[in-house]
């Protein structure tokens, strides 16, 4: 099977991405000052040179007391560092989206729709209407800053039980006002964020959203148990102004609903009609969470990539996000294109990026070494 279909360009709101490969967002760099370093920019450059068409940055929190990450923040002192990253990617022929992330009630003392995590644990405080309006404005302002710093687009983190998803999910949204209750109420916050972001960045700047059924540590969560229920969730996102959906699954190939072999991304694409990114253990023979527990992860080689191509060619999704495979091996995409499967690196548990340990995975030599 040929792989050339994965190397065709895709244009979204005037942003042309040279191929269908995305570097998935991963919490990688952890600078003490929260400022992207020159090495951070060079890591992105390495992956673009290695064949990736689009970088989605690690989840980046915004400049507000209620959201805090030890990895990445968007605040004035970091602007030059982020601009260095966007320059590095563009100079190498790639595109880069900034993923805007608010962890909500997952952070002790933070806040969310009701103060509950997706698991129903009371960890934070419920947001007032004034605080909701403030955070909506924060998303819009941050997206506009990203545009001015040279990012090609933004991705709103609406998955895995973080703030936007906490509003979507009944277990974490126990509000009885207009921001809770039925699906329309639970979606209100996320839709207002999307509309505010679109108004701030204009019509020529892509806005994506990462979504998922599963939540952190709740891998079997499925708030939308049928295709019709999932459609009722997706169409309002499209109408509000989302351009591309990043459909997160633990394993991209697993069927989402009975009676079809379509994975989560396939259903999202079919039901929404929007360009869709598939993600979930691409290039690995075990899911990422199992490999973190010490299970040896091997490259799926040509057989696994053929399944990826088969699903892509039948229209299940438009792009594919590759995480640890390109973290371990910056040349993974180029090696795939040239069918150098024996040269792909494998991993077990610590990855070092330019001398800094960023994930607990051991990088092993290629099979052919």
Q: Which two tokens stand for residue 56?
A: 């989605």
47-51, 83-87, 220-224: range with lowest mean pLDDT = 220-224
Q: How far is Cα of residue 278 from the mean position of the Cα atoms in its chain?
A: 10
What's the confidence (pLDDT) of residue 366?
44
What is the Cβ-side half-sphere exposure of residue 66, based on CA atoms within 13 angstroms? 25
The residue-averaged pLDDT of 186-201 equals 98
Average pLDDT, the chain: 89
What's the confidence (pLDDT) of residue 352?
42
* pLDDT for 192 beyond 90: yes
What's the confidence (pLDDT) of residue 325?
86
What's the confidence (pLDDT) of residue 296?
47
What's the confidence (pLDDT) of residue 220?
87
pLDDT: is 313 or 283 the higher one? Answer: 313
The domain spans of the chain are 4-344
Residue 42: Cβ-neighbour burial (10 angstroms; 0-12, 13-18, 19+): middle
- Give the position of tokens 């920019």: 41
Type and span of the H or E element at 7: none
Q: Are 302 and 342 in contact (CB under 8 A)?
A: no
What's the confidence (pLDDT) of residue 284?
58
Quickly count: other Cβ atoms within 10 Å of residue 357's Cβ: 11
* pLDDT for 339 beyond 70: yes
What's the confidence (pLDDT) of residue 61?
96
What's the confidence (pLDDT) of residue 302?
67
* pLDDT for 66 beyond 60: yes
What's the confidence (pLDDT) of residue 285?
55
Q: How far is Cα of residue 86 from the mean position of the Cα atoms in its chain?
A: 17
Q: Are 8 and 19 in contact (CB under 8 A)?
A: yes
What is the Cβ-side half-sphere exposure of residue 98, based on CA atoms within 13 angstroms? 29
What's the confidence (pLDDT) of residue 28?
76
3-state SS assignment for residue 322: strand
The residue-averaged pLDDT of 22-43 equals 90
What's the confidence (pLDDT) of residue 342?
80
* pLDDT for 175 beyond 50: yes
* pLDDT for 293 beyond 50: no
pTM of the shown model? 0.90
3-state SS assignment for residue 16: strand
What's the confidence (pLDDT) of residue 139?
98
Share of the chain above pLDDT 90, in %: 73
pLDDT tens figures, 73-112: 999 999 999 999 999 999 999 999 999 999 999 988 889 9
* pLDDT for 348 beyond 70: no
What's the confidence (pLDDT) of residue 346?
65
Q: What is the CATH number of domain 4-344?
A: 3.20.20.70
* pLDDT for 349 beyond 50: no
pLDDT: is 283 or 286 the higher one? Answer: 283
| Cα angle 117, 123, 125; round to 5 | 100
């Amino acid at each position: 099977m040929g792989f050339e279909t994965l190397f065709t360009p895709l244009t979204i709101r005037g942003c042309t991405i040279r191929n269908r490969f995305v570097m998935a967002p991963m919490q990688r760099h952890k600078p003490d000052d929260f400022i992207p370093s020159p090495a951070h920019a060079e890591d992105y450059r390495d992956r673009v040179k290695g064949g990736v068409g689009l970088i989605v940055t690690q989840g980046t929190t915004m400049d507000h007391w209620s959201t805090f990450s030890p990895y990445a923040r968007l605040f004035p002192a970091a602007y030059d560092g982020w601009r260095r990253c966007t320059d590095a990617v563009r100079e190498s022929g790639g595109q880069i989206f900034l993923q805007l992330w608010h962890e909500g009630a997952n952070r002790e003392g933070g806040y969310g729709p009701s103060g509950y995590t997706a698991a129903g644990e009371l960890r934070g405080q419920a947001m007032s209407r004034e605080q909701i309006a403030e955070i909506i404005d924060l998303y819009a302002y941050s997206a506009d800053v990203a545009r001015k710093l040279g990012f090609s687009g933004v991705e709103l983190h609406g998955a895995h039980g973080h703030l936007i998803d906490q509003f979507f999910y009944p277990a974490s949204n126990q509000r009885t006002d207009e921001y809770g209750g039925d699906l329309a109420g639970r979606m209100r916050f996320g839709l207002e964020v999307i509309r505010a972001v679109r108004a701030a960045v204009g019509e020529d700047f892509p806005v994506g959203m990462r979504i998922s059924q599963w939540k952190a540590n709740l891998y079997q969560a499925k708030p939308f148990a049928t295709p019709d229920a999932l459609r009722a969730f997706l169409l309002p996102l499209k109408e509000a102004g989302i351009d591309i959906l990043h459909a997160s699954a633990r394993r991209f190939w697993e069927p989402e609903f009975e009676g079809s072999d379509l994975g989560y991304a396939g259903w999202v694409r079919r039901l929404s009609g929007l360009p869709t990114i598939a993600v979930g253990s691409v290039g690995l023979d075990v899911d990422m969470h199992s490999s973190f527990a010490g299970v040896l992860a091997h490259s799926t080689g040509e057989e696994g990539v053929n399944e990826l191509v088969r699903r892509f060619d039948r229209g299940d999704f438009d792009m594919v996000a590759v995480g640890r495979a390109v973290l371990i091996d910056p040349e993974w995409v180029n090696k795939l294109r040239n069918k150098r499967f024996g040269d792909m690196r494998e991993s077990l548990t610590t990855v070092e990026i330019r001398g800094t340990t960023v994930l607990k995975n051991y990088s092993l030599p290629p099979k052919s070494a």
